Amino acid sequence: MSPTLKIASSSLLRHVYTAGRYVLDIFFPLSCLGCTQSDTLLCQNCCKKIRPRYEQSCPYCRKHLTPHGETCFDCSSKNDLDGVFVAYDYNQPLVDTALHAFKYQSLESLAHPLSKLFVQAVISSGLPLPDCVFPVPLHPWRLRYRGFNQSELLGHALATTLLPGTAVPFDTQSLVRHRFTLPQQKMPNVESRKHNIKNAFSLSKQSTSSLRGKSVWIIDDITTTASTLDACARVLKQAGVHKVFGVVFAQNTFVAHSKRAVKPSSQIQ
């Protein structure tokens, strides 16, 4: 298929999807995922019940508590991430339900309440601001399937809200996922997750000189073993980035072969 035809068919699918959602909203009006209040997917009262994570720890060993999730001294010599800040724990029922619906049921309207919660947690943490923010990129096939990149929506909210009156540069072009990978949830252990995501990311040539010496954040919705963030950090560090911090909405606890570790095959990450 020619690139023009591909874009046209993708645009047509998007219109069909939007029309479909409009029809669904008429027959199945929105209701809060927590309390069923009408006209919203996540009401303010339910948002207030979601507790931020107060203790942050090294993303690799998780043994050492650090102020913002900085990588501990022991782990820093053999890994690329300088830390991962986690806004919320995934084991709260509403966080689990909302993120699952946002990502796997493509409920894009959850981006607004989830972004608000994300911004609140990051601002109140006092995490030092970066020079630039990157979302974890999706492979183009997954982006076409879902219609949006959930990490990009959350990252955009952060980049445009962190500094009053101005925006932190938000880069959705430089970091690309050039290799299609199986969903990380299907991987039975930490090693297979690392192997699955290895060499999946790269940087566009034009971006490498402008990133040297910078401090950056990589935004993701959920992390489990930090393997995806670590793979992104590797290419950024190789390009001369000084500091790479992951900033994620929630962290899931990795349990091999649990129902959360293996999702149905229709749920594309």
In angstroms, give the least distance from the CB of 39 to Zn ion.
11
Q: Counting Cβ atoms within 10 Å, is residue 50 exposed (0-12), middle (13-18) or buried (19+)?
A: buried
Span of 38-46, 128-136, 152-160, 253-261 interacting with Zn ion by CB under 5 A: 38-46
Q: Is 60 in the site for Zn ion (CB under 5 A)?
A: yes
Task: Please pick, from the candidates 41, 43, 111, 250, the single residue that binds Zn ion as defined by CB under 5 A.
Answer: 43
If one counts every other C-beta atom within 10 angstroms of the C-beta of residue 65, the result is 12
Selection from 25, 48, 12, 60 nearest residue 230 by Cα: 60
Residue 60 or 85 with smaller CB distance to Zn ion: 60
Q: Is 34 in the site for Zn ion (CB under 5 A)?
A: yes
> In this structure, are residues 138 and 177 in contact, taking their beta carbons and an 8 Å threshold?
yes
Q: Is 35 in the site for Zn ion (CB under 5 A)?
A: yes
Instruction: Name the helix (H) or strand (E) containing 208.
Output: helix 208-211
Residue 185 or 224 with smaller CB distance to Zn ion: 224
Span of 75-83, 112-120, 178-186, 248-256 interacting with Zn ion by CB under 5 A: 75-83
Q: Is 8 in the site for Zn ion (CB under 5 A)?
A: no
3-class DSSP state for residue 115? helix
Residue 58 or 138 with smaller CB distance to Zn ion: 58
- Cα gap 235→230, rounded to integer Å: 9
Selection from 137, 151, 78, 132 nearest residue 243 by Cα: 132
Residue 18 or 44 with smaller CB distance to Zn ion: 44
- Cα gap 221→214, rounded to integer Å: 23
Q: Is 122 in the site for Zn ion (CB under 5 A)?
A: no
- Cα gap 242→203, rounded to integer Å: 15
Q: Is 75 in the site for Zn ion (CB under 5 A)?
A: yes
- Dihedral sign of CA atoms 219, 83, 80, 58 in order: negative
Q: Is 61 in the site for Zn ion (CB under 5 A)?
A: yes
Residue 34 or 155 with smaller CB distance to Zn ion: 34
Q: Is 81 in the site for Zn ion (CB under 5 A)?
A: no
Residue 113 or 155 with smaller CB distance to Zn ion: 113
Task: Please pick, from the candidates 41, 50, 58, 250, the single residue that binds Zn ion as defined by CB under 5 A.
Answer: 58
Residue 75 or 119 with smaller CB distance to Zn ion: 75
In angstroms, give the least distance from the CB of 52 to Zn ion.
18
- Cα gap 93→243, rounded to integer Å: 33
| Interface ranges with Zn ion (CB under 5 A) | 32, 34-35, 37, 43, 46, 58, 60-61, 72, 75
